[in-house]
Structure 1
Amino acid sequence: MQYYYGQQMPLRVLDEAEFWKMQEEEHTVVIREALPNLEKKYVDVLKEWEQALSVTHQKVVSYVETVNRSQYVYAELQQQVNQLVTFCLQESMQFIELLRQIKVHSSVAKDNLTAKTILDHIIRESEYFIGIARVILYGHNHA
């Protein structure tokens, strides 16, 4: 990640979060459609996650609009952006944990190579976002 964004850095951070929260939301649907016989408890949890990720995505969009309209990003707004990105990171970690549980404990997924491949791919994508979020939260202070 490059840090030449200056005053636009909060917008860059939010752009990443917006994209990845939308991806994770869509991934809940992909899993349900790719595994039509998935146990009801996992289907229900994935639907709950879809809603939660949608709410997070909308919060990020709201902050994008705020930062876009601000002539200057004040310390308080930067702190709120960092808190939101921290929440997004933690949410992604919890989402990954759910996917790992499905991969190991779902009778539909654990012996299905295609299901494991899909889940592993989605996990890697969320891990990529976590890496980006960590750099944003912790790396730029040392750059």
Structure 2
Amino acid sequence: MQFYYGNQMPLRVLDETEFWKQQEAEHTVVMRELVTNLEETYVAALKRWKVELEASHQHVRRFIESVIRSHNTISPALHKQVLELVSFCLQESVAFIQFCRQVKNDSSAVSDNQTAKVVIDHIVDESEYFIGIAQTILYEQT
């Protein structure tokens, strides 16, 4: 996490959220490319996840622009919206982790691919890292 923001919580948390949503979207491609014989249901689901995660990433980017343009005069309404967005992104990451674990545990293509299992575990670990950061920042605000 980039702590150089000091007390600029909205930018801190939005910066982290933007980075991790982009990572999660890229991870959907990694999984599809790594497991070339992945079942079509998982391929289709990963494509949907990519679209959803990219949409979240773009939404976060728009909020970053709003915060930057506010020149550190963030209204209570904008602050509340930032916290709600981060909370949504956190829950989205929880669901993405559940999906990744489902692919790892239920896909026969993954069961035969030890590298894929390790990569999926790494993807899950990274999403869990984001969740930990987001929870810490959200809890600091309460």
Q: Is the 8 A contact 2:5 2:12 kept in 1?
A: no
Equivalent pairs counted in the alignment come to 140
Q: 1:115: which partner in 2?
A: 116
C-alpha distance in 2 between matches for 1:110 and 1:69? 49
C-alpha distance in 1 between matches for 2:76 and 2:136? 19
Deviations, residues 72-124 of structure 1 (Å, cap 9, x unaligned): 01111110000000000000000000000000000011232111101000000
Counting only pairs closer than 5 Å after superposition, residues 4-15 of structure 1 correspond to structure 2 as 5-6=6-7, 8-15=8-15
Once the two structures are TM-superposed, the CA of residue 15 in structure 1 deviates from its matched residue by: 0.2
Deviating more after overlay: 78-87 vs 105-114? 105-114
Deviating more after overlay: 69-78 vs 46-55? 69-78
| TM-score in terms of structure 2 length | 0.94
C-alpha distance in 1 between matches for 2:29 and 2:22? 11
Return the letter of the residue paired with 1:58: Q
Q: Is the 8 A contact 2:5 2:11 kept in 1?
A: no
| TM-score in terms of structure 1 length | 0.93
Q: 2:50: which partner in 1?
A: 50
C-alpha distance in 1 between matches for 2:132 and 2:112? 29
Q: 2:126: which partner in 1?
A: 125
Return the letter of the residue paired with 1:118: V
C-alpha distance in 2 between matches for 1:139 and 1:38? 41
C-alpha distance in 1 between matches for 2:40 and 2:76? 45
Once the two structures are TM-superposed, the CA of residue 3 in structure 1 deviates from its matched residue by: 9.2
**Can you give the 5+ residue segments of structure 1 that lack an aligned partner in the other structure?**
none
C-alpha distance in 1 between matches for 2:130 and 2:31? 19
**Can you give the 5+ residue segments of structure 2 that lack an aligned partner in the other structure?**
none
